[in-house]
Amino acid sequence: MKCWNPTCECMSRDEMSSLQSERLINTVKRVYYNVPFYRNKMQQAGLVPEDIKTVEDLKKLPFTYKQDLRDNYPYGLFATPMSEIVRIHASSGTTGKQTVVGYTRKDIATWSEVMARTLAAAGATKDSFIQVAYGYGLFTGGLGVHYGAERVGASVIPISGGNTSRQIQIMKDFGTNILACTPSYALFLAETLDEMGIDKNELKLRAGVFGAEPWSDNMRKEIENKLGILALDIYGLSEVIGPGVAYECEEQHGMHIPEDHFIPEIINPKTGEVMPPGEKGELVFTTVTKEGLPLIRYRTRDISALTYGTCGCGRTLVKMERVSGRTDDMLIIRGVNVFPSQIESVLLEIGETAPHYLLIVDRIGTLDTLEVQVEMSDKLFSDEVKKLELLEKKIKDKIESTLGVSAKIRLVEPKTIARSEGKAQRVIDKRKL
Amino acid sequence: MLVKQISVFLENKSGRLAEVTDILGKQDIDISALSIADTTDFGILRLIVNKPEQAEEELKKEGFTVSCTDVIAISVVDEPGGLAEALKTLESVSVGIEYMYAFVGKSTSEALVILRVEQPEKAAEALDKNNIRVLPAERIYKL
């Protein structure tokens, strides 16, 4: 697959550092003079813009939290007059008041650029047909991918989310090559394809860019097999820009971050200290080209790790590991940290299970309980009770040995766990703490 | 000689059994025998019906998990020791029984039993040799 922008995607570390330093210095000046929030924070830390001389000085700056965006709702952290803002998006607000982000014309161009890099890494060219099944609207997924696809020059099919059988019909009739949606929806599309009796070879689908929720390598394999495609992980969050903050190449071994625009750091979420390359911790971003809503050391709450060096694809951009969980959706069950994605991996390792599952956490007396509901499938089913009980035991043992928590396994009828066309709901926490 | 049995996965929720029988009834599928194995959370409904392929298809269409297995139907004399004779035969050829259930036939002098065994072909042959009546599928489906 060709690099969309080899100059930026393959530059040397020295060149990248000096570009980042120059852009960081400008960004810090801009927020200090234009955004009271940042000015106050820097003053409290005893900093003036001149203290930031190179990218090495980044760690001196204070963090920005999602709560800061909420406290300054809706436009308080914008660094340009509203007359310069040409687009407004907002996060879904599932964990509180929604956060609002604004883009200038140049920000939209930056976004299109990083999304063009993302799609080119999946093989997109001007001859491609790209089906955008992310939702369009305040959510950044749909329009973000859309603008990148237009920048590449591909034919964009802006179908948005939902209406699954129509998605498949259009995929078949319009000759879609690249699909963009959430991984759980990709899997749902694959299942529906089966039900509609359409063979994957009747489609021209070659690749998919899937993101907006955590998924596992096993789930990737299942999507790749069922749809006959290359499935790539993409990463983004509206606060930083939307989709396009990191993207996998055909190596499928980490996601490249366009660090000429977004500088990543991994920190210890408890101490705030910067971790060395390769270590796991919370991902933090500083945007260095954004005008509308520049962010300084924004805490994503996503857990990842960074790897530097030249990738097999030729890109020199730093790679982030697949997000292994969030510091805030991490469940603590009887004192053990549990990420839903770990349970998903276990279920897929057992092999025959389709990854539709639901975790129900409750507290009986003082004891946390974890119930894992797993949907029955034709492959798992047996007419013998002992075989099904053995299956439950197998799942239970595997969860216990991998995660260190015991769980009650409950086999449920197929299609009884709600499917979502956006982010899948994997956890119901009934505990009242 | 083997009879097709339909097994359906059911969660222990009220109304599920009614739903299955309703689907079959609407398709004019007649149930000859049934048995339920249950645990605290789920049950397995086993059915012998007159149109097993169609029953499997209809239930799958409605979203149920269904499988089809070969079982043996035998008729034993309705008197003390009648069943023991058949079971001894299976033991003599080392065929293990996974499960079994009895059901009502049309005759008063015989008892009908469905046997789910590891090697149905071998079991049916051994039973036949020992003069235990193994009933043909067509007869069971018509009950």
Closest residue in A to B60 (Cα–Cα): A378
Contacts of B12 in chain A (CB under 8 A): none
**What tokens does A134 get?**
């992310």
Contacts of B33 in chain A (CB under 8 A): none
**A313 and A375 housed in the same domain:** no
- CATH superfamily ID and name for B70-142: VC0802-like (3.30.2130.10)
Confidence of residue B103 (pLDDT cuts 50, 70, 90): confident
Residue A355 pLDDT greater than 70, yes or no: no
A350 vs B: CB within 8 A: no
Name the β-bridge partners of A338: A331
* Inter-residue contact B74 to B115 (CB < 8 Å): yes
Interface test with A, best of B16, B41, B68 (most A CBs within 10 A): B41
Confidence of residue A424 (pLDDT cuts 50, 70, 90): low
End position of a domain, from candidates A276, A306, A328: A328
A384 vs B: CB within 8 A: yes
Stretch A333-353: mean pLDDT? 76
Domain boundaries, chain B: 3-68, 70-142
Residue A216 confidence (pLDDT)? 81
**A272 and A131 housed in the same domain:** yes
Q: What is the number of CB-based contacts under 8 A between chain A and chain B?
A: 50
**A324 and A337 housed in the same domain:** no
Confidence of residue A217 (pLDDT cuts 50, 70, 90): confident
Nearest neighbour of B39 by CB, restricted to A377, A389, A414: A389
A381 vs B: CB within 8 A: yes
Tell me which of A1-15, A253-267, A410-424 is least confident.
A410-424
Contacts of B99 in chain A (CB under 8 A): 384
Residue A423 pLDDT greater than 90, yes or no: no
Nearest neighbour of A383 by CB, restricted to B11, B41, B69: B69
The segment with the largest mean pLDDT, out of A46-50, A420-424, B86-90, B134-138, is A46-50
Residue A401 confidence (pLDDT)? 86
**A374 and A241 housed in the same domain:** no
* Inter-residue contact A61 to A263 (CB < 8 Å): no
Contacts of A389 in chain B (CB under 8 A): 39
Q: Between chains, do B11 and A413 touch, taking CB under 8 Å as contact? A: yes
Residue A2 confidence (pLDDT)? 86
Residue A420 confidence (pLDDT)? 64
Residue A351 confidence (pLDDT)? 67
Residue A342 confidence (pLDDT)? 77
Closest residue in A to B65 (Cα–Cα): A378
Reported ipTM: the value is: 0.86
Residue A356 confidence (pLDDT)? 81
End position of a domain, from candidates A308, A328, A348: A328
**A375 and A231 housed in the same domain:** no
Residue A430 confidence (pLDDT)? 85
**A314 and A300 housed in the same domain:** yes
**A175 and A132 housed in the same domain:** yes
Residue A347 confidence (pLDDT)? 84
Residue A22 pLDDT greater than 60, yes or no: yes
End position of a domain, from candidates A328, A357, A375: A328
Stretch A208-230: mean pLDDT? 89
Contacts of A416 in chain B (CB under 8 A): 11
Contacts of A381 in chain B (CB under 8 A): 7, 9, 65-67
Among candidates A266, A4, A238, A6, which has minimal Cα distance to A107?
A: A238
Residue A431 confidence (pLDDT)? 79
CATH code (residue A356): 3.30.300.30
Mean pLDDT over each residue of chain B, to the nearest integer: 91
**A228 and A91 housed in the same domain:** yes
Tell me which of A62-66, A369-373, A416-420, B14-18 is least confident.
A416-420
Residue A419 pLDDT greater than 80, yes or no: no
Q: Between chains, do B44 and A415 touch, taking CB under 8 Å as contact? A: no
Confidence of residue A405 (pLDDT cuts 50, 70, 90): confident
**A317 and A368 housed in the same domain:** no
Residue A185 pLDDT greater than 50, yes or no: yes
Residue B15 pLDDT greater than 80, yes or no: yes
Contacts of A382 in chain B (CB under 8 A): 7, 67
* Number of compact structural domains in chain A: 2
Residue A92 confidence (pLDDT)? 59
Confidence of residue A81 (pLDDT cuts 50, 70, 90): very high
Closest residue in A to B56 (Cα–Cα): A378
Residue B44 pLDDT greater than 90, yes or no: yes
Mean pLDDT over each residue of chain A, to the nearest integer: 91
**A151 and A4 housed in the same domain:** yes
Residue identified by tokens 């790539």 is A232
Residue A193 pLDDT greater than 50, yes or no: yes
The DSSP code sequence of chain B is --EEEEEEEEES-TTHHHHHHHHHHHTTPPEEEEEEEE-SSEEEEEEEES-HHHHHHHHHHTT--EEEEEEEEEEEESSTTHHHHHHHHHHHTTPPEEEEEEE--S-SSEEEEEEEES-HHHHHHHHHHTT-EEPPHHHHHH-
Residue A299 confidence (pLDDT)? 95
Confidence of residue A433 (pLDDT cuts 50, 70, 90): low
**A307 and A278 housed in the same domain:** yes
Confidence of residue A94 (pLDDT cuts 50, 70, 90): very low
Q: How far is A426 from chain B (nearest CA, A)?
A: 20
| Spatial separation of the C-alpha atoms in residues A26 and A79, rounded to whole Å | 13
The segment with the largest mean pLDDT, out of A38-47, A417-426, B75-84, is A38-47
Nearest neighbour of B44 by CB, restricted to A383, A414, A416: A383
In this structure, which CATH number among 3.40.50.360, 3.40.50.150, 3.30.2130.10, 3.40.50.10860 belongs to the domain B3-68?
3.30.2130.10
A101-137 tens-digit pLDDT? 999 999 999 999 999 999 999 999 999 999 999 999 9
To the nearest 10 degrees (0 to 180), the angle between helices A36-44 and A13-34 is 110
User: Do the domains B3-68 and B70-142 sit in the same CATH topology, yes or no?
Assistant: yes
Give the Cβ contact number of residue A278 at 10 Å.
11
Stretch A74-98: mean pLDDT? 85
**A114 and A255 housed in the same domain:** yes
* Inter-residue contact A413 to B9 (CB < 8 Å): yes
Residue A93 confidence (pLDDT)? 53
Domain that holds residue A190: 1-328
CATH code (residue A240): 3.40.50.12780
Q: How far is A161 from chain B (nearest CA, A)?
A: 24
Residue A263 confidence (pLDDT)? 98
Nearest neighbour of A383 by CB, restricted to B11, B41, B67: B67
Interface test with A, best of B34, B65, B69 (most A CBs within 10 A): B65
More confident residue, B107 or B27: B27
Stretch B1-7: mean pLDDT? 92
Closest residue in A to B68 (Cα–Cα): A383
